[in-house]
Structure 1
Amino acid sequence: MDILLVLTYVALATVVFKVFKIPLNKWTLPTAGLGGLFLIGAIIVIMNYNHPYSETSREYFASTPIIPAVRGRVVEVNVQANEKVKQGDVLFRIDPAPFQDKVSSLEGRLVAANADQERAQELVRRKVGTQRDLDQAKALVSQLEGELGVARYNLEQCVVRAPTDGWVTQQFLHPGMMAVPMPLRPVMVFIHDEHYQYVGWFRQNSTLRLKPGYEAEVAFDAIPGSVFSAKVKAVLPVMAQGELQAGGHLLSSERETHPGRVPVILEIDDPEFIALYDQVPGGSFGQSAIYSDHFEHLSVIRKVLLRMNAWMNYLFPFH
């Protein structure tokens, strides 16, 4: 685009020199050159500030690690990789035998404990038993009821279901494997079937030109030659580089690597992109531009530049 601006200026300067018959000398020629340099530089600087561009933008999605609530051997896997399922559909089953045995044992003990409680109540009514024996019988019944509730819950957890609509990706779980309730060892990764968030990472220099409601455009590397309209949905008020957590270390300038960029959430509302939504993989990379309400006429240059970058996506190294 800068070459195009230079060529346009050269053409205009040539026309001016010929129409007005301005002589070429040591004053007019440097003046025209420096004037063009200043004019084109000013246009580019004003455009960069008022219509910011981010070459680092990405589509983000939420995932949930599937961790069983109980330990056991997997006896059945009911889901295929990358096939959509509904909320509540069975993902896999854990062998329920030991948990069912626990429930049956507690149910039997609870029946006996209830009978002992009734006998203790009858003895107290006849004044041949003690209140302490009755209290102990009631306590045992309450304890067994609580343990039975936990056992039934564990039995229910032998059937692991989908938390929401979505799909399991990279499914490696098979019958016979041991499922363990460890947070660091999920057995599946569940991807939620919801609209992804597209985030553009903009330089802090343009913070005053990043506001919700501004028009924007997005170009994906995965869809060369196409630019989609969007709007600024939100500008996140914090950046990861400034995050602090309680710990045993003091702040140090040596740990500061780079200033960081402002994350801006963009909402793509282009019907053409909605039609291609299922074909764009989550996590796709791209570029984005925001058009503020300042110096609006210069936004045309930014739009041309973004489209040129979109067409450049057709070119990539051969492997």
Structure 2
Amino acid sequence: MALKTKIYAICLLLLTLAVLVLVLLRIDAAPRTDDAYVYADTISVVPEVSGRIIELPVKDNQLVKRGELLYRIDPRSFQNILDASQARLITLNEQIKLSERSVSAQQYNAEAVAAQIASARSQYQQAQETYNRKLALSEKNYVSKEELDLARTFRNTAEANYNSAKLQARQASAAVSGVDALVAQRNEVQAQISEAKLNLEYSEVRAPFDGRITSLKTSAGQYASPSQSVMTLIDTRQWYVIANFRETDLQGVTEGTTATVFIMADTNKSFSGTVDSVSYGVAPGDSASVGGLQFVEKTINWVHVSQRFPVKIKMSGYDRRLFRIGASAVVTLHRGNKYERE
């Protein structure tokens, strides 16, 4: 009887050891953690322009489709700027046409004006020389006073003609400069029109992707500005789970390693995923994040424990009822099983 008891005890001990070894091997091959949470990309929906919200057809936690209107800012001020700029553009175009016609006419006569200047300059120089010569002769009484007066008159007339020709040339140059100034104004107005059209487009804020609204902070009638977030939009097209694993469990874990995920809200349902990436940096110690690194709090402070690193798992499917950002999860990695991405 005693022998049978000893044999039974030894068998039980061996069985226990075998089960323990199998459990340890299984744990080593498939590390598991309950320090995990659901994650998805988010954006803060911030207006590009300032104004009063006149339409807000969505509500908090609502699902929206890409292109669906989230809110509309009063567009009247932007429309007024656009209308005024377009009217100004029409006026400038007409002014430029008239000025270009004038310039074309003056440029057509440019060669004639240049010839007139040369001729007037020559006549003026000749009249000036004649006057100077007769002025010198008049001092010796070789020229009468009437001849000197006539030479002075010719000189003054030639000078006036020369100045008139130069004035015509300056007017032609000024006309060209005037067209350049009008063209510069037109370019400025066209830029204002483009900006007004863009602001009109910005006054309607639409969903850039399929998602769920959260943290809705305002209502219709509220004044919105580019410095204030109106709501947050969760990208529900792709969900992730961030699981913190001990560094000793990361051996053999690479991109594509398969994972099984349970959401705490319903542990009867499992989900599949693959490792998207393994973090290469966390903040050491018990302080807050340093240099932008993630901080993973240690669960035991009185013994030295392995550091834990976040593993980002890309989910291949999800349940809309269970997947919420921050929801607790349990993750098991299957080392050796790897999903090959195309």
Fold match, TM over 0.5? yes
**Are 2:309 and 1:262 equivalent residues in the alignment?**
yes
3-state SS of the aligned residue for 1:153? Answer: helix
| Shift, 1:176, TM fit | 1.5
Q: Which residue of 2 aligns with 1:168?
A: 213
| Shift, 1:87, TM fit | 1.6
Q: Which residue of 1 aligns with 2:133?
A: none
Q: Which residue of 1 aligns with 2:70?
A: 91
3-state SS of the aligned residue for 2:238? Answer: coil
Q: Which deviates more from structure 2 when the two are superposed, residues 87-96 or residues 36-45?
A: 36-45
3-state SS of the aligned residue for 1:143? Answer: helix
* Distance in 1 (alpha carbons) for counterparts of 2:314 and 2:202: 38
Task: Say if 1:191 and 1:132 are closer, same or farther in 2 by CA, change over 3 A.
Answer: same
Q: Which residue of 1 aligns with 2:166?
A: none
| Shift, 1:219, TM fit | 2.1
Map 1:54-69 onto structure 2 (within 5 A).
54-69=33-48
| Shift, 1:244, TM fit | 7.3
Q: 2:311 corresponds to which letter in structure 1?
A: V
* Distance in 1 (alpha carbons) for counterparts of 2:200 and 2:232: 23
* Distance in 2 (alpha carbons) for counterparts of 1:16 and 1:149: 99
> What whole-Å deviation, never above 9, does each CA across 1:157-189 have from its counterpart, x for those lacking one?
11111111223224342221100111xx20111
Task: Say if 1:87 and 1:52 are closer, same or farther in 2 by CA, change over 3 A.
Answer: same
**Are 2:90 and 1:111 equivalent residues in the alignment?**
yes
Q: Which residue of 2 aligns with 1:121?
A: 100
Q: Given the alignment, which residue of 80, 98, 114 partners 2:59?
A: 80
Q: Given the alignment, which residue of 198, 203, 206 partners 1:153?
A: 198
Task: Say if 1:279 and 1:187 are closer, same or farther in 2 by CA, change over 3 A.
Answer: same
| Shift, 1:120, TM fit | 1.7
Q: Given the alignment, which residue of 209, 212, 219 partners 2:252?
A: 209
**Are 2:81 and 1:102 equivalent residues in the alignment?**
yes
* Distance in 1 (alpha carbons) for counterparts of 2:55 and 2:191: 29
* Distance in 1 (alpha carbons) for counterparts of 2:70 and 2:240: 26
Q: Which residue of 2 aligns with 1:315?
A: none
| Shift, 1:199, TM fit | 2.5
| Shift, 1:257, TM fit | 7.5
Q: Which residue of 2 aligns with 1:251?
A: none
Q: 2:213 corresponds to which letter in structure 1?
A: V
| Shift, 1:203, TM fit | 0.7
Which of 1 and 2 has higher RCO (CA within 8 Å, sep 6+)? 2
3-state SS of the aligned residue for 1:219? Answer: strand
Q: Which residue of 2 aligns with 1:234?
A: 276
| Shift, 1:236, TM fit | 2.2
% identity of equivalent residues: 21
| Shift, 1:211, TM fit | 3.0
**Are 2:49 and 1:70 equivalent residues in the alignment?**
yes
**Are 2:38 and 1:52 equivalent residues in the alignment?**
no
Task: Say if 1:17 and 1:49 are closer, same or farther in 2 by CA, change over 3 A.
Answer: farther
Count matched residues: 257
| Shift, 1:288, TM fit | 1.2
> What whole-Å deviation, never above 9, does each CA across 1:80-99 have from its counterpart, x for those lacking one?
33332222221111111211
3-state SS of the aligned residue for 1:125? Answer: helix
Structure 1 runs not aligned, ≥5 long: 1-14, 247-254, 295-319
* Distance in 1 (alpha carbons) for counterparts of 2:81 and 2:34: 59
Structure 2 runs not aligned, ≥5 long: 107-170, 299-305, 338-342
* Distance in 1 (alpha carbons) for counterparts of 2:102 and 2:291: 62
| Shift, 1:267, TM fit | 4.5
* Distance in 2 (alpha carbons) for counterparts of 1:195 and 1:51: 25
How high is the TM-score relative to the length of structure 1? 0.68
Map 1:293-308 onto structure 2 (within 5 A).
293=336
* Distance in 2 (alpha carbons) for counterparts of 1:16 and 1:57: 51
